[in-house]
């Protein structure tokens, strides 16, 4: 285990780098996912079609293919950025499809009677949305959205494996190949630090879930 | 179109006019966006037959070999995914049954295992299967398919079996309590009750979730690209790209192949779910709160 304890600093640096991938991708995919979800539930047919296309494409393509496309395809179009940028971009595009579906299913889970009741007591569209539909939708969205986010945190390892550099994954690669350390202790180290991302995230999610839970 | 009724009423003439205007704007915006992309593609000469020919033109000399390579990739992808699926359903069922039948304290190590494996990225587990196992003396090279295939299968299985364990558990727990009680009352043992009465019904409920998870497994096979040489679809696409130097075209084709497989599987899952919902509305209340469908994120 000295392989881990001796290189704790290196692991911790990798941990922070992985965490920053996660957080950038979190912000990006939430924004993009909600936008796509808005398209999918809008009354405008072309926007709905666009949303459906987006979701079908990114949900059925492996993240690794999206990453390859971003990193090798986009430069062909004259878009040259760092691997970190392409990595986060790929993760955002991929995750946005899942965020969209979580949000959409949350909105759909509100029964039509709720909106009808809101209208029948004289609330207009935006009031009904604001006071009746969205508060309920947001609560049902939390659990599936939480598991999407945790899955995304785990997928940040794929971005790392893709070659962003400096994150947990490449720390492990450096230690095993360049320094020739045993793979098992390094694996344990990587696994431990990934658990340090996913387990706290899961705990936070549970707290949030309990806070917003409603009995139906 | 039930989804629309939640947010808005059936539209009147005014709203329909607004929708039409919105439609016009959206069409213009999307066409504009499409135009910009296509323009850029033309500018960069991405529509040339030199780049597309080997992929779509049967008379191109490279066409046959390119598609043979893709074909091998698809076969290898499906092989790895199928083995991993079978193993993880089997082991997942075992874990679920053990968890359901063990007492409160006996359950703890299992829950620990489940939490541990669920918290790790699947790519890290594949790394474990492919790289770490040989180092600690587990030699899989002699098995048909070699280290890469079995390492990949082990990684995928480790990740997915605990997901299936949860799916099976949710499936069994969603069954009416009377099923178990009736089975025990007719004199079946606990094991028989599980095997003959509960699991078959649970699997029926779970079928859509199982198929959705198959999509995830299929996608995750591509992660082996980063770790070892196993000629699955993405690796094959990558080697084609290196030879033809047409990343955009090749990866679009690779993506379309994945989408074709996964989209049909997704539709199949939907179809089965709908049929079951019709057939057994009165019999089983499927848990649609995410318990049976922990596939979001596609990790």
Could you tell me which residues come within 8 angstroms of residue B56 by beta carbon, excluding any fewer than 6 positions away? B63
CATH, range A2-215: 1.10.3720.10
| pLDDT for B281 | 59
3-state secondary structure of A185: helix
pLDDT higher for A134 or B193?
Answer: B193
Sign of the dihedral through C-alpha A201, A207, A211, A214: positive
CATH superfamily for B71-273 is MetI-like (1.10.3720.10)
Give the nearest partner residue to B296 out of A65, A125, A148, using CB atoms: A148
Q: Between residues 32 and 91 of chain A, which touch chain B (CB distance below 8 Å)?
A: 41-47, 50, 56-57, 59-66, 68-69, 72-73, 76-78
Confidence class for position A214, pLDDT limits 50, 70, 90: low
| Percentage of chain B modeled with pLDDT above 70 | 90
Distance between B195 CA and the closest CA of chain A, angstroms: 31
ipTM of the complex: 0.85
Q: Between residues 127 and 166 of chain A, which touch chain B (CB distance below 8 Å)?
A: 129, 133, 143-144, 147-152, 154-158, 161-162
Residue A29 to residues A73, A158, B130: CA-CA distances in angstroms?
A: 21, 16, 31
| pLDDT for A215 | 55
Residue A10 to residues A52, A162, B110: CA-CA distances in angstroms?
A: 43, 19, 32
pLDDT higher for A104 or B103?
Answer: A104
Question: How many whole angstroms separate alpha carbon A68 and alpha carbon B156?
Answer: 21
* DSSP 8-state code for residue B224: G
Contact A171, A114 (CB under 8 A): no
| pLDDT for B133 | 82
Could you tell me which residues come within 8 angstroms of residue B60 by beta carbon, excluding any fewer than 6 positions away? B53, B54
Structural domain boundaries of chain A?
Answer: 2-215
| pLDDT for B69 | 84
Is pLDDT of B174 > 80? Answer: yes
Is pLDDT of B294 > 50? Answer: no
Question: How many whole angstroms separate alpha carbon B24 and alpha carbon A44?
Answer: 9
Residue whose structure tokens are 């991405």: B46
For residue A77, the chain B residues in CB contact (below 8 A) are 40-41, 44, 46, 248
For residue B124, the chain A residues in CB contact (below 8 A) are 157, 169, 187, 190-191, 194
| pLDDT for B54 | 73
Return the exposure string of B212-226: e unless at least 16 CB atoms fall within 10 Å of the residue's CB, then b.
Answer: bbbbbbbbbbbbbbb
Q: Could you list the beta-strand ranges (E) of chain A.
A: none
Contact A151, B296 (CB under 8 A): yes
**pTM of the complete model:** 0.85
């Amino acid at each position: 285990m000295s392989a881990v304890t001796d290189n704790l600093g290196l692991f911790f640096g990798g941990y922070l780098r992985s965490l920053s991938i996660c957080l950038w991708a979190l912000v990006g995919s939430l924004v993009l996912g909600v936008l796509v979800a808005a398209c999918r539930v809008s009354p405008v047919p072309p926007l709905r079609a666009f949303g459906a296309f987006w979701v079908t494409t990114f949900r059925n393509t492996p993240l690794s293919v999206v990453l390859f496309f971003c990193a090798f395809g986009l430069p062909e179009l004259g878009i040259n950025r760092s691997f970190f940028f392409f990595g986060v971009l790929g993760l955002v595009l991929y995750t946005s499809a899942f965020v969209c579906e979580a949000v959409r299913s949350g909105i759909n889970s509100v029964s039509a009677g709720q909106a009808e009741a809101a209208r029948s007591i004289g609330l207009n569209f935006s009031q009904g949305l604001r006071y009746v539909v969205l508060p309920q939708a947001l609560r049902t969205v939390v659990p599936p959205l939480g598991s999407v986010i945790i899955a995304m945190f785990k997928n940040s390892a794929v971005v790392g494996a893709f070659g962003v550099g400096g994150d947990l994954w490449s720390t492990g690669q450096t230690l095993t190949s360049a320094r020739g350390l045993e793979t098992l202790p390094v694996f344990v180290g990587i696994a431990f630090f990934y658990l340090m991302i996913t387990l706290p995230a899961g705990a936070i999610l549970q707290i949030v879930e309990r806070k917003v839970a409603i009995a139906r | 179109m039930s989804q629309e009724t939640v947010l808005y009423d059936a539209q009147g003439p005014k709203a329909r006019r607004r929708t039409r205007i919105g439609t016009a704007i959206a069409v213009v915006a999307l066409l504009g966006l499409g135009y910009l992309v296509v323009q850029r593609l033309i500018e960069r000469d991405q529509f040339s037959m030199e780049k597309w020919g080997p992929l779509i033109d049967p008379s191109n000399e490279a066409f046959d070999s390119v598609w043979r390579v893709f074909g091998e990739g698809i076969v290898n992808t499906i092989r790895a995914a199928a083995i991993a699926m079978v193993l993880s359903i089997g082991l997942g069922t075992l874990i679920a049954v053990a968890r359901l039948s063990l007492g409160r304290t006996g359950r703890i190590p299992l829950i620990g295992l489940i939490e541990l494996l669920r918290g790790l990225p699947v790519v890290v587990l594949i790394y474990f299967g492919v790289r770490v196992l040989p180092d600690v003396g587990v030699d899989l090279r002699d098995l048909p398919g070699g280290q890469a295939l079995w390492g990949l299968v082990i990684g995928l299985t480790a990740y997915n079996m605990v997901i299936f364990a949860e799916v099976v558990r949710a499936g069994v727990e969603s069954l009416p309590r009377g099923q178990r009680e009736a089975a025990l009352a007719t004199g079946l043992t606990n094991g028989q009750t599980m095997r003959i009465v509960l699991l078959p019904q649970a699997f029926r409920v779970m079928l859509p979730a199982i198929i959705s998870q198959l999509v995830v497994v299929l996608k995750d096979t591509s992660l082996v690209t980063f770790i070892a040489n196993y000629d699955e679809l993405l690796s094959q696409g990558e080697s084609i790209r290196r030879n033809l130097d047409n990343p955009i075209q090749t990866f679009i084709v690779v993506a379309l192949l994945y989408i074709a497989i996964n989209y049909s599987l997704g539709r199949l899952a939907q179809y089965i779910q709908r049929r079951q919902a019709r057939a057994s509305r009165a019999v089983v209340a499927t848990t649609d709160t995410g318990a049976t469908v922990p596939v979001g994120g596609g990790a």
